[in-house]
Amino acid sequence: MVRPVATAGPRVNSGRYGRPRAQRRPTSTTGDEFPTGRRGLTVSAGARYSHPVATRSASFAHRHLVGIADLDAAAIGVILDLADRHQAIAAEPVKKLATLRGKTVINLFFENSTRTRTSFEIAAKRLSADAVNISPSQSSAAKGETLLDTAKNLDAMGPDVVVVRHAMGGAPHLLARTLRCAVVNAGDGQHEHPTQALLDAATMRRHKGQLAGLEVAIVGDLAHSRVARSNLLCLTKLGARVRLCAPWTLLPPGLTELGGDLTRERSRITTRLEDALDGADVVMMLRVQHERTAGEAPRFANPREFSRTYGLSARTLAYAKPDAIVMHPGPINRGVELAPDVADSGRAVILEQVSWGVAVRMAVLELLTGSAEA
């Protein structure tokens, strides 16, 4: 019996067990829709699809992020724009991108942290990177090993990013000059905390539209606050004006000179809370860092006196603009720098700051690893 010869015809794209495979949506620019890599989301024809990561351009030509002092307004804008895109991921059923697949991020924290370390870990995992957390009790630092030796040993294992928090100011800068991988400053002594300033700027931009022209009051322990220093640099570079308020005993010398002419022209110091709050668009409260003043003479009489003079209550908040928002980097000392009813009010955006922290740190990790795409 002669078998019939098959004639030429359309090739069937068979899947497993001979079943036809589902046809992919068109990817051509002439098609009706484009795949986004996310279920159920499409972009109409004629519209240019924008991936959730931004183009790495000359505006962000940085290998490390050790301080806001190293960034200009354009580089800050690149990070904030990318963070805007990543913020939307938190609302999706599957909070995952494959951008950093195969990358390793080490969180090396020598000081206590809840928000910063956790958000860096979540940021890395949402980008599909492998995240490794190391604390002092788990490292050889407890056996007398130096920070530099610890970091060099970790670098020998081939990580892509080391995120470091240390009580010594300048520790991230030391590692950045030594390690082959990217280094991110998660807070160094009383020096800087760049990603906190960036997430604060992102939160303000979300509520106020832009930072240029905003009046921002930063109140509390300015002497020991790395958050205040990074925010002063970041906000003035983006066009905001900053009022720094604290008792004289908690005011470091030369604070307004930190960024040269820029901070000198766009910031001022006052010791009166009402003066700092008058007409402010944003009020940022800082806690008193008792852990950094152990063994020193008291900077003020007692917490009750500090709260009465420099604490933010519903009464003192009335000096600010009616639509002013209240911020705090955390942790909050309720009843000291911030009254509970204000902390829990609709004007407080403290938990939004935490949410933006993940998005901003995703953007930072992506840019520093060179994984951002067009």
Domains present along the chain, CATH in parentheses = 58-192+356-365 (3.40.50.1370), 194-290+301-350 (3.40.50.1370)
pLDDT of residue 209: 93
Structure tokens at 151: 């970091």
Would the pLDDT of 294 be above 90? no
Distance CA 130, CA 207 (A): 33
Average pLDDT of the chain? 85
Structure confidence at residue 58 as a pLDDT band (50, 70, 90): low
pLDDT tens digits along 216-256: 999 999 999 999 999 999 999 999 999 999 999 999 999 99
Would the pLDDT of 64 be above 80? yes
Which amino acid is residue 328, in one-letter code?
H
Would the pLDDT of 372 be above 60? yes
Could you give the angle at which helices 73-87 and 194-208 cross, rounded to 10 degrees?
70
Element (H, E) at 350: helix 350-368
pLDDT of residue 373: 57
pLDDT of residue 140: 82
Structure tokens at 368: 């520093």
What is the pLDDT averaged over residues 62-79?
96
Residue 244 β-bridge partners? 218, 269
Would the pLDDT of 121 be above 70? yes
What is the pLDDT averaged over residues 1-23?
47
What is the number of alpha carbons within 13 Å of residue 299 lying toward its C-beta? 22
pLDDT greater at residue 374 or residue 205: 205
pLDDT tens digits along 319-340: 999 999 999 999 999 999 999 9
Structure confidence at residue 56 as a pLDDT band (50, 70, 90): very low
pLDDT greater at residue 282 or residue 138: 282
pLDDT of residue 26: 38
pLDDT tens digits along 72-106: 999 999 999 999 999 998 889 999 999 999 999 99
Kindly report the backbone phi and psi dihedral angles of residue 244, in degrees, each rounded to the nearest multiple of 5, phi listed first: -105, 120
Distance CA 68, CA 225 (A): 14
CA distances to 224, 264, 279 from 287, rounded to whole Å, are: 10, 24, 22
Q: What is the DSSP string of 27-84?
A: -STTSSEEE-SSTT-EEETTSPP--SS----GGG--S-B--GGG--HHHHHHHHHHHH
pLDDT of residue 211: 97
What is the pLDDT averaged over residues 163-184?
96
- DSSP code of 12? P
pLDDT of residue 158: 97
Would the pLDDT of 302 be above 90? no
Q: Considering only CA atoms, which of 178, 117, 116 is closest in space to residue 146?
A: 178
